[in-house]
Amino acid sequence: MEPFILLCLVHGHGGTVVQSILVVEDEALIRLAAVDIVESAGFIAVEASNADAAIKILEARSDISVVFTDVDMPGSMDGLKLAHYIRDRWPPIILIVASGKAIVAESKLPSGARFFNKPYEQHAIENAIREMLSEK
């Protein structure tokens, strides 16, 4: 299946802000690849294996800024449903949706969300996260 990533803020040395990203993916190899993207971009990676775990994290933490989700994943909801759920419950969270199996029309995305076809380029995701955070 495919990863989704949550982004949050923590303070690093010297008062700099370091982004923490939660990678939620049921397949270990894909999750590891997503963690590599996150860490190589200078973010802190945190892992979970499904949308339900991601929701529990959102309920427990107020510092989540971005969710990066794949559309196709098992469990109580797919990534598109998760993105809509997050938009309804936590409107300020930035949403990035990706899929290698379907092209999601902008009209099907939550407001303000961005869609990427898979495979996506690492720098495209990094740039989108940074750009969307700077617009916030």
CATH code of the domain containing 26: 3.40.50.2300
Residue-number span of the structural domain to which 24 is assigned: 4-135
Structure confidence at residue 9 (pLDDT):
44
- State how far the alpha carbon of 86 is from the alpha carbons of 40, 44, 91, in Å: 26, 21, 7
Structure confidence at residue 96 (pLDDT):
82
Structure confidence at residue 89 (pLDDT):
93
Nearest 10 degrees: CA dihedral of 8, 39, 105, 72? -100
Q: Quote the number of domains for the chain.
A: 1
Ordered per-residue pLDDT tens for the chain, 136 residues: 445 544 444 444 455 566 677 776 777 887 787 778 877 877 777 787 789 988 888 898 777 777 877 788 888 998 899 999 989 998 988 888 888 888 899 999 999 999 988 887 888 888 888 788 788 7
Q: Is the dihedral of CA 45, 117, 108, 111 positive or negative?
A: positive
Structure confidence at residue 71 (pLDDT):
80
